[in-house]
Structure 1
C-alpha cells in the first residue's frame, strides 16, 4: 500500500493527571495515514496502541471531521530517515508518531514541539509514493484481485 497522505492530530484531552502540565490543546497526538484504498489510524496511548482501519472512503474529509470535533490537524509527509538508529527516547505518543513519519529530531519531545516542528517545515502533501520498504523481507504481491479488497474496520490492541 502506498501512503499518499499523512495527518497528525493533536488533542487537549488528558486522562493522565501529569499530562495536564503540557500545553492546552497539545497534550496528545496520533497519526492517520491515507492511501487510495482508505485510511488507517495509529493512536499510541499509555496502556495500549490502537491501530484502526477507518471505515470511510479515501476521499473523505478527515481533516474537516477532526477539526469539527475541536482537534488540531496538520498534513505532513512521510520522510525517508537516515539509516541509523533514531535517538533514544522513552515511549510516548510523540515518539511513536515521529517514528512513523521518519522524524529523528531528538529535541522534539512534546506534542506542542512536534506541532511546531511540522509547521516550521511548511504544509506539504505527498506527491509520490516513497519506497519506504526497500529492504523489508515481506511479500507485497497479491494472489488474486479479491485479496486487494479493503479490510473491514478493526481495532488491533496491544493489551
Structure 2
C-alpha cells in the first residue's frame, strides 16, 4: 500500500461539479493499493500515519500527530501511485490491486483511521475526481507499508 500524505490547511474533492468532501486543517492522503496488500496492511498504514508527527507544535517543530493537531484526513484513491515507471515511457499497472480488492482495502484503511479516533472524509473510489488543496508548508511525505 502506497500513500502520499500532504499537510493541508484545506482540501476538497469534486465529482461531476459537486463538492462531495472537504476538510479544513489536516492532511490529504492519496492512497494506492497493490495486489499483495491486505486488511493487515491497511491497519498498519493507518496506525503509522496516525502516529506520524508532521504538524508543528508551539515552537514550530514537527512534533504533533494528526490527533494532537486536532485535524481531519481526506482520503482519495490514487491508482497511479502503484505504477511501475522504471522502464519505457508508459506506466505499467500490473502491481495494482483489482478494482474490487482496491475498493475493499480503501474502505478498510479509512475504517482503521476512524477506529483510531481520527475524523475521515473520502473521495469517491473509481470516480473522475477534481482534488483541490492548499498544501501547508509545503509538507508532503511518501509512506508505504
Q: TM-score with structure 2 length normalisation? A: 0.27
Higher relative contact order (CA 8 A, sep 6+): 2
Greater Rg by CA: 1
